[in-house]
Amino acid sequence: MSCVVLATAYGGPEVLTVVEETVGDPGPGQARVAVRAAGVNPADWKVYTGAFGTDPAQLPRRLGFEVSGVVTAAGPDAGVSVGDEVVGFRVSGGYADELVVPASALLPKPVSLGWEPAAGLLLAGATAVHALTTTGVGEGDTVLVHGAAGGVGLMAVQLAALRGARVVGTVGGEGADLVRRLGGEPVRYGDGLADRVRELAPDGVTAALDLVGTDEAVDVSLDLVADRQRIATIAAFGRAAADGISALGGGPGADPGTELRDAARAELLDLAGSGRLEVVVAGVFPLADVAAAHRQGMAGHTHGKLVLVP
């Protein structure tokens, strides 16, 4: 038996519950994984808050797209062995003690990478890679990252810097020191943002990543970046369609970038395992406290990743 998190209705975190379910044996090309940590992402709560629809036939819903753990059983042609330490993305139902996953979703966990950061790396990291690749960020660019102290933002700041770009990142609260430590130049969002960015980067901004979905983020990006093909959003899908900028991820009309994101997994693990990319874990919650973890994430002021541990 495995403890798993279910959304039993559509609504807020109060619809989440932990139940026991039987874990089956893996079939061909599958593996069973004992979960050591599961990453928490906005996509998880979008499943039950109605952002992706409210079809009652889809209930109850399991949550969790990324995990780290240990292989406990392997089916034929799985390509992994019992005892292997792995990272899984993308999986279905990762908020669990144990689950069966396609072996294609598993990659070796670097020995130097802890369970919690390993579980928080791949969804945010692959999203950042997708945004940076779509906007062509590289050597000599100045890129504006909205939401730079969030889970995806901190990945984007580091990866853009590794590509040789100058990074200006919007922050609020206490995120400035963290963004600065990881290679970005923080600037406070709010009224006058465009002017503050111009003062910081008088030679101009060549690309922008909206990782928060606010009108301010889109408006300032349009104001500062001449080429709309070099502006991407992972949240403001309506604005993207209206303003001709790239929409990325799981929203309406967005490019999911599945192949690109899957291809990024090995590189992200290599960078994190070698210490060139840091996964900032902002909070660790027991599986039973999943609702509290989601409430913190939904408040929108978390600097880094939230992680659940069985």
Q: How confident is the model at residue 281 (pLDDT cuts 50, 70, 90)?
A: very high
Give the β-pairing of 67-74 and 30-40. Answer: antiparallel
Q: Which helix (H) or strand (E) segment is 99 a member of?
A: strand 98-102
* Average confidence score pLDDT of the chain: 97
C-alpha to C-alpha distance for 44 and 96, rounded to whole angstroms: 14
C-alpha to C-alpha distance for 192 and 184, rounded to whole angstroms: 20
Q: Are 237 and 246 in contact (CB under 8 A)?
A: no
The string of pLDDT tens digits covering residues 42-88 is 999 999 999 888 999 999 999 999 999 999 999 999 999 999 999 99
Q: Where are the domains of the chain?
A: 2-121+279-309, 126-247
Q: Are 200 and 103 in contact (CB under 8 A)?
A: no
Q: Are 287 and 3 in contact (CB under 8 A)?
A: yes
The string of pLDDT tens digits covering residues 205-239 is 999 999 999 999 999 999 999 999 999 999 999 99
For residue 5, pLDDT beyond 90: yes
C-alpha to C-alpha distance for 37 and 304, rounded to whole angstroms: 15
Give the CATH H-level superfamily of domain 126-247. NAD(P)-binding Rossmann-like Domain (3.40.50.720)
Q: How confident is the model at residue 300 (pLDDT cuts 50, 70, 90)?
A: confident
Stated pTM of the model = 0.96
CATH of 2-121+279-309, one of 3.40.50.300, 3.90.180.10, 2.60.120.620, 1.10.540.10: 3.90.180.10
C-alpha to C-alpha distance for 26 and 245, rounded to whole angstroms: 42
C-alpha to C-alpha distance for 307 and 294, rounded to whole angstroms: 10
- Residue 159 CA: distances (Å) to CA of 116, 164, 177, 194: 20, 9, 18, 23
C-alpha to C-alpha distance for 113 and 55, rounded to whole angstroms: 39
Q: Are 120 and 64 in contact (CB under 8 A)?
A: no
What percentage of the chain exceeds 90 in pLDDT? 95
* Helical axes 215-224 vs 193-200, angle rounded to 10°: 40
Ramachandran angles phi, psi of 218, nearest 5°: -70, -45
Tokens 């504006």, located at residue? 144
